[in-house]
Homo-oligomer: A and B are copies of this chain.
């Protein structure tokens, strides 16, 4: 008797998050209960796994390991930064994908990524239509940057937001206690190249106007050196110390990133990156002792301080994606819809992928204070629910107990792809 169940393909794409594996877990656990899906095959290193026919057989993993994905940051199956070629100009890659899907009985396609990736999901769905290939293509939202449109927030963001708010609170208490005789200014650089959501979330560290962060730098607000330094001095006069949270994408009016402002090392080589050291240099010239931190990957992988709300939503979009696929939907993506702020209520809705592709949502003006350095109460109202709740982390020997996958690859059926 033929198996009427079909296989599903799932891949992780772009920068990973503390909870992207929770979405994977949602897909795999929900598919296991479905009468239509046989195996979930995961692309090793994202879509490259499909092109190279490197398909991880998740049925070989234990239920315990799959459940542990919720406790595991990073992309457990490997992610990639790889944009498929335009299918109109160069069909080779798309054709290969469908060869692999056909060879492995794949009728469901789940792509867990940001805006760029959902553009790919949409193109694959279009190609499937053209080829009359029975493939349900579902996007699963993910990005720490929170810049996806339509969805109220992006899974992955709430946990970075909680990390940044907590770190700002903690480091703020540290510098406050040192300020009388030592460090007066602390600068924390966070992610966000084009949208300042992560830096904005640091506002949740404060319960009144004197608490850190005192200055937030967003890519949405052009950086003015004199205005900034005046604000630093005023803050120190008032509070005795100053905590700054800066987006990596902080930029001048002409669009030039501060981090690109020409650091060179001893050998004359250009040093990339670091808004924080650039700001530190400016502040040091005022004679103010300062410290700086660059959170980089620590912030987006900090599963140990993940937001429960975020983890739940990451799982829910994975779960719902399977339900959409098995009910015959394609070229759609589950999104988070906010029902109310307080108490915070949300549900899953869907959006057409055609709309999502390559649109970026930045921090709106109404969320930014007049002087550009603070977040308004409206902004706090939006951000606050996203960091609520602590997602339990299990520890083993003092460190987080994460999933170790066997990553059994399916036997290849096709020739190598060049």
Residues of A within 8 A of B (CB): 12, 15-16, 18, 45-46, 48, 72-82, 162, 165-167, 169-178, 180-182, 186, 188, 204-205, 261-267, 269, 271-274, 276-278, 280-281, 284-285, 291-298, 300-305, 307, 384, 387-390, 395, 397-400, 402
Complex Cα gap A73–B169 (Å): 9
Complex Cα gap A295–B278 (Å): 17
Please name all residues of chain B whose beta carbon is closer than 8 Å to the beta carbon of A296 when the two chains form the complex.
Answer: 171, 186, 291-293
- With A263-B266, A273-B277, A301-B174 already in contact, the answer to whether A399 and B205 are too (CB < 8 A) is yes
Complex Cα gap A405–B277 (Å): 33
Are A398 and B402 in contact (CB-based, < 8 A)? Answer: no
Are B402 and A177 in contact (CB-based, < 8 A)? Answer: no
30 contacts between A and B (CB under 8 A): A46-B180, A48-B181, A74-B170, A74-B174, A74-B175, A74-B177, A82-B181, A165-B399, A167-B301, A169-B402, A171-B301, A173-B402, A261-B265, A261-B266, A262-B266, A263-B266, A263-B271, A265-B278, A269-B284, A269-B285, A271-B277, A271-B281, A272-B284, A273-B292, A274-B274, A291-B297, A293-B293, A307-B398, A387-B399, A388-B397
Judged by DSSP, the binding face of A is: mixed
Are B398 and A162 in contact (CB-based, < 8 A)? Answer: yes
Q: Which residue of A162, A182, A295, A399 has the most chain B CB atoms within 10 A of its CB atom?
A: A399
Are B398 and A74 in contact (CB-based, < 8 A)? Answer: no
Please name all residues of chain B whose beta carbon is closer than 8 Å to the beta carbon of A72 when the two chains form the complex.
Answer: 173
Are B174 and A73 in contact (CB-based, < 8 A)? Answer: yes
Nearest B residue (CB) for A44? B180
Are B173 and A73 in contact (CB-based, < 8 A)? Answer: yes
- With A273-B277, A296-B293, A298-B171 already in contact, the answer to whether A177 and B398 are too (CB < 8 A) is no
Please name all residues of chain B whose beta carbon is closer than 8 Å to the beta carbon of A188 when the two chains form the complex.
Answer: 298
Please name all residues of chain B whose beta carbon is closer than 8 Å to the beta carbon of A264 when the two chains form the complex.
Answer: 263-264
A250 CB to closest chain B CB (Å) equals 15
Are A170 and B303 in contact (CB-based, < 8 A)? Answer: yes
A34 CB to closest chain B CB (Å) equals 26
Choice from B276, B297, B398 contacting A165 with Cβ under 8 Å: B398
10 shortest interchain CB distances as A-B pairs: A74-B173, A75-B177, A262-B266, A293-B296, A387-B398, A45-B180, A170-B301, A174-B301, A171-B297, A80-B181
